[in-house]
Chains A and B, each alone.
Chain A
């Protein structure tokens, strides 16, 4: 790597566009409480846990992508020394989970997506779990898993959505291979194309990728002294205790999930991973059981990001105004549905980009194949479409001889505009100004360092929903309470994936109740002991749990002040809480412990539990384009400068700026970290990450073959944190977990075309693909 300039990472450009009273804790780059523990390696992750008499578990998985199991004999394995249990499908009380796939159109009909805990007679993807083993040692469990006798009869499989949807294709499920189909049409696309000065067509293909968190799936389960099956694991969703209860056929109040601080999630720990297996084995053996997936196992069998084939047709006037956009999306659900229908919905809603386009048609389908299942991953369908729509915008700009920023400015959504699905943009949409800022941040062009090097720059804008679909009636609850000495406790079910989820809640509570941040302690992510807060997904936690804590803290504040008011001889409305005290008019002050003692005497609780309900809506009929789908969106723009080695096709990112309007940055340092981390994950997606499958067989089941960016592969990401002051979260914040991962792929593709004229429309943009686009290889 050539030397990068020696300077500290550029300070984020942050501004507050609205006037608000000065905040004391919120808005400060406070040190996160979990950071201290983590640098000292004091945080106990899910695998950092051992219990007396603990067994170790292993999973036997199918080596084939499509097969019948004609023989399954566990006798030899079960007889091996130290083996405590060997389970197959027949040992699972309720082996099949079925969920309704939401909002199906009449074209597909009602659909139940089935999932088996352990394979029953048939395996549909490589890595599908067939049997579980628990043994005294991990080596014993793995050896026993190998000793299970399985005979397979291979069956024909399908390995692309196109093949799956062709007539006569083998059926992955009896319901047929088309899993979901969404269609949106608004305005007159034919008329639009007719009056367009240019029509740009493009096909874009994205790949399977893995979440590749550093911490593999892990957990320990045991049966507590009161008979509660307790599962301590790394998960983004503690509510899966209900799935465990259903599978085990036990009452829901007999299963407890304790979520640990995750070593990364990114959507890969949103579905059930180890919890059901652990529950089964703990229940069967009566002993604690530990399961930690190997990296190979995780790369092999964990759900991936949906790959897409996207066909775009974009018509624009000479001014750059887009007048028609026609999009066809085809995604691969892999062997099981998981969250595919919802992912497709996100893609459908965002397919046209953050632009005001009068005529839009989107036709989106997702099909089953015998590839690994695909499910949630950071960006959730709204991420892949950015590659399509931003590659198109760049090509339209080129065709018209306009610069990239101008084309965005001409078309960018503004408040009051209507999306193709009929949703009105109700908050500030910052696309245009963010595009300008990100672009300008690149500064003067870097001169090429050698004759065979070309330098170019590219822009990419996006919008990512935050908060769940409005007709899912999302809610989050929180408990906030004072101890007698005025130290504060927050309890929230929120799982912390490393983005400072827990820390932000402490900031909010401290801000509202006027106490020092250090006096706040928080308990999170325990389905039995913390109020449920919903999933850490969908960029929803700051919005939902932040609002839940905000609401709870405000109501607690009112309770406290109702007691303090007569003590100070004032109206509650004239009181303030600050510095760990209550302040009244005329400089009168009461230390909090005094007020709290009075609360105790008066029988007024020093704690409060509240629920925040997101504004809900009715399901939208996408075909009629009639309404609000998501609560709101986070808008962003990234700009990249790259160099292309025109002899090898190698691409190096020289400079990178990432701008997002976050409404308000609760913790600016955390927001920068999310932007930088998301952008780098997006660069991995753009340049090097790919799950390589051959007829459903995964060739990249190791970190040596599945490549994620190292520190030497990416430059400093300059985060630009814009604060419009408009967002639905606490203190007008917007979600920032997912948005930064969307723009990089198109920014890089656009920069490469700018540098050397080669357009790569397939991800990842490897050096070989660039070389081919340059005509260096035939």
Chain B
């Protein structure tokens, strides 16, 4: 790979100063699972690589109905953490779908978000749960909603001098959840992913519903129209199927070399129906 200057700041302030100084000439190194392949392929030739792995950004905390995850929390932590299993097991289910075991050893929450692959699992979870992303620069702190954070295909709202410090994810409580993904081969990126989070009242009606998709647009996205179909109704098979149909109709996936838009739409319909069914089943278990 093309040579670069290497910095390994010990404090967040030092890291932010480096970003302020170098801006677009610098790339952040966290897990390296997205950065190093493009360095290996010589597609990127940053002047400076800022290694942030020494920064104290790996905590998992629960407070005020939220889980706070530091940007350097690794995917395997999401799979293994007792706090996550109790408070937001959706993260655990999604993390198990990410890449392969080696990616999960080193890949980080912050890295996944910064890369902003529309088919990736963590951005999908954040969109579905309306998570918040805390970013910092030497100038300021900002908190962005997930929707504002993911700006476009592989594009975030991060300024060149900003980095993600942590995210806040609402505790799931008694909501049921499920991720359904379709990949062409085990461990491959998802062609389409559907994520459902559903809360069912004591009277058996859907109180809240989140339905989000990956791989069908330039960012992961929720389909509010489908969610509206569900809220206030009993979670019958027909109701879930109707929501899935509405969702599929609302999406505008693209043709690409690996799947046609029409097929992605079909997958979105089938996967969302299945995700909703599992989420509802979980919600009813908990109730």
Please tell me whether chains A and B touch each other in their complex, using a CB distance cut-off of 8 A.
yes
Seen from chain A, the residues whose Cβ lies within 8 Å of a Cβ on chain B are 1, 139, 142-143, 146, 294, 296, 647-648, 650, 688, 692, 694, 699-700, 704-705, 707, 709-713, 766-768, 771-772, 776-778
A778 to B261, CA, bound (A): 11
Q: State whether A688 touches B184 (Cβ < 8 A).
A: yes
Q: State whether A704 touches B189 (Cβ < 8 A).
A: yes
Chain B positions within 8 Å of A772 at CB level: 263
Q: State whether A768 touches B259 (Cβ < 8 A).
A: yes
Q: State whether B257 touches A778 (Cβ < 8 A).
A: no
Least CB distance, A689 to chain B, in whole angstroms: 10
Chain B positions within 8 Å of A146 at CB level: 42
Whether A766 contacts B184 in the complex (CB less than 8 A), given A139-B1, A648-B270, A777-B266, comes out as yes
* Partner among A143, A712, A768, A771 whose Cβ is within 8 Å of the Cβ of B2: A143
The 4 closest A-B pairs by CB, nearest first: A712-B186, A768-B263, A707-B185, A647-B270
A296 to B1, CA, bound (A): 14
Chain A positions within 8 Å of B41 at CB level: 294, 296
Q: State whether B186 touches A767 (Cβ < 8 A).
A: no
Q: State whether A142 touches B184 (Cβ < 8 A).
A: no
Least CB distance, B235 to chain A, in whole angstroms: 19
Chain A positions within 8 Å of B257 at CB level: 692, 694, 699-700, 705
Whether A713 contacts B186 in the complex (CB less than 8 A), given A139-B1, A694-B257, A699-B257, comes out as yes
Whether A712 contacts B184 in the complex (CB less than 8 A), given A647-B270, A768-B263, comes out as no
Q: State whether A710 touches B182 (Cβ < 8 A).
A: no
Chain A positions within 8 Å of B266 at CB level: 648, 771, 776-777
Whether A710 contacts B187 in the complex (CB less than 8 A), given A776-B266, A777-B260, comes out as yes
A142 to B42, CA, bound (A): 9
Beyond contacts A650-B182, A692-B258, A778-B262: 12 other A-B pairs, Cβ-Cβ < 8 A, are A648-B266, A688-B184, A704-B189, A705-B257, A707-B188, A709-B185, A710-B187, A711-B186, A712-B186, A713-B186, A768-B260, A776-B266
Chain A positions within 8 Å of B262 at CB level: 777-778
Whether A704 contacts B188 in the complex (CB less than 8 A), given A142-B42, A767-B182, A777-B262, comes out as yes
Interface check B267, CB cutoff 8 A: yes
Seen from chain B, the residues whose Cβ lies within 8 Å of a Cβ on chain A are 1-3, 40-42, 182, 184-189, 257-260, 262-263, 266-267, 270
Least CB distance, B252 to chain A, in whole angstroms: 16
Chain A positions within 8 Å of B258 at CB level: 692, 705
Least CB distance, B179 to chain A, in whole angstroms: 16
Whether A710 contacts B185 in the complex (CB less than 8 A), given A692-B257, A694-B257, A777-B262, comes out as yes
Residue of B nearest to A714 (CB): B186
Chain B positions within 8 Å of A1 at CB level: 186
Chain B positions within 8 Å of A776 at CB level: 266
Chain A positions within 8 Å of B188 at CB level: 704, 707
A699 to B257, CA, bound (A): 8
Q: How many A-B residue pairs have CB under 8 A?
A: 55
Residue of B nearest to A693 (CB): B257
Least CB distance, B80 to chain A, in whole angstroms: 21
Residue of A nearest to B186 (CB): A712
Least CB distance, B215 to chain A, in whole angstroms: 13
Whether A710 contacts B186 in the complex (CB less than 8 A), given A296-B41, A647-B270, A699-B257, comes out as yes
21 contacts between A and B (CB under 8 A): A1-B186, A139-B3, A648-B182, A648-B270, A688-B184, A692-B258, A699-B257, A700-B257, A704-B189, A705-B257, A707-B185, A710-B186, A711-B186, A766-B184, A767-B182, A767-B184, A767-B263, A771-B263, A776-B266, A777-B263, A777-B266
Chain B positions within 8 Å of A768 at CB level: 259-260, 263
Chain A positions within 8 Å of B185 at CB level: 688, 707, 709-710, 713
Least CB distance, A312 to chain B, in whole angstroms: 28
Residue of B nearest to A645 (CB): B270
Residue of A nearest to B99 (CB): A704
Chain A positions within 8 Å of B270 at CB level: 647-648
Q: State whether B184 touches A707 (Cβ < 8 A).
A: yes
Interface majority SS on B: helix, strand, loop or mixed? loop
Among A294, A648, A692, A704, which residue has the most Cβ atoms of chain B within 10 A? A648
Chain A positions within 8 Å of B3 at CB level: 139
Least CB distance, B98 to chain A, in whole angstroms: 14
Chain A positions within 8 Å of B267 at CB level: 648
A713 to B185, CA, bound (A): 7
Least CB distance, B281 to chain A, in whole angstroms: 14
A1 to B96, CA, bound (A): 13
Whether A139 contacts B184 in the complex (CB less than 8 A), given A768-B260, A776-B266, comes out as no
A772 to B186, CA, bound (A): 22
Chain B positions within 8 Å of A688 at CB level: 184-185
Chain B positions within 8 Å of A650 at CB level: 182
Residue of B nearest to A712 (CB): B186
Least CB distance, A651 to chain B, in whole angstroms: 11
A776 to B258, CA, bound (A): 17
A146 to B43, CA, bound (A): 12
A647 to B244, CA, bound (A): 13
A710 to B41, CA, bound (A): 24
Least CB distance, A285 to chain B, in whole angstroms: 23
Among B1, B182, B258, which residue has the most Cβ atoms of chain A within 10 A? B258
Chain A positions within 8 Å of B186 at CB level: 1, 710-713
Least CB distance, B130 to chain A, in whole angstroms: 29
Least CB distance, B171 to chain A, in whole angstroms: 31
Among B1, B41, B184, which residue has the most Cβ atoms of chain A within 10 A? B184
Whether A139 contacts B263 in the complex (CB less than 8 A), given A647-B270, A712-B187, comes out as no
Residue of B nearest to A766 (CB): B184
Chain B positions within 8 Å of A713 at CB level: 185-186
Chain B positions within 8 Å of A139 at CB level: 1-3
Chain A positions within 8 Å of B42 at CB level: 142, 146
Least CB distance, B263 to chain A, in whole angstroms: 4
A711 to B187, CA, bound (A): 10
A650 to B185, CA, bound (A): 11
Chain B positions within 8 Å of A710 at CB level: 185-187
Chain A positions within 8 Å of B1 at CB level: 139
A705 to B188, CA, bound (A): 9
Least CB distance, A54 to chain B, in whole angstroms: 20
Residue of B nearest to A689 (CB): B185
Residue of B nearest to A143 (CB): B2
Residue of B nearest to A142 (CB): B42
A767 to B258, CA, bound (A): 11
Least CB distance, A257 to chain B, in whole angstroms: 30
A381 to B187, CA, bound (A): 31
Least CB distance, B43 to chain A, in whole angstroms: 10
Residue of A nearest to B100 (CB): A710
A139 to B40, CA, bound (A): 10
Residue of A nearest to B264 (CB): A768
A767 to B260, CA, bound (A): 11
Chain A positions within 8 Å of B189 at CB level: 704
A142 to B39, CA, bound (A): 13
Least CB distance, A705 to chain B, in whole angstroms: 8
Residue of A nearest to B259 (CB): A768
Least CB distance, A775 to chain B, in whole angstroms: 11
A778 to B187, CA, bound (A): 28
A139 to B259, CA, bound (A): 36
Chain B positions within 8 Å of A707 at CB level: 184-185, 188
Least CB distance, A89 to chain B, in whole angstroms: 25
Chain A positions within 8 Å of B263 at CB level: 767-768, 771-772, 777
A713 to B263, CA, bound (A): 21
A591 to B188, CA, bound (A): 60
Chain B positions within 8 Å of A767 at CB level: 182, 184, 263
A281 to B41, CA, bound (A): 24
Among A139, A143, A772, A777, which residue has the most Cβ atoms of chain B within 10 A? A777
Chain A positions within 8 Å of B187 at CB level: 710, 712
Chain B positions within 8 Å of A294 at CB level: 40-41
Least CB distance, B127 to chain A, in whole angstroms: 23
Chain A positions within 8 Å of B260 at CB level: 768, 777
Residue of A nearest to B270 (CB): A647
A112 to B188, CA, bound (A): 43
A778 to B260, CA, bound (A): 10
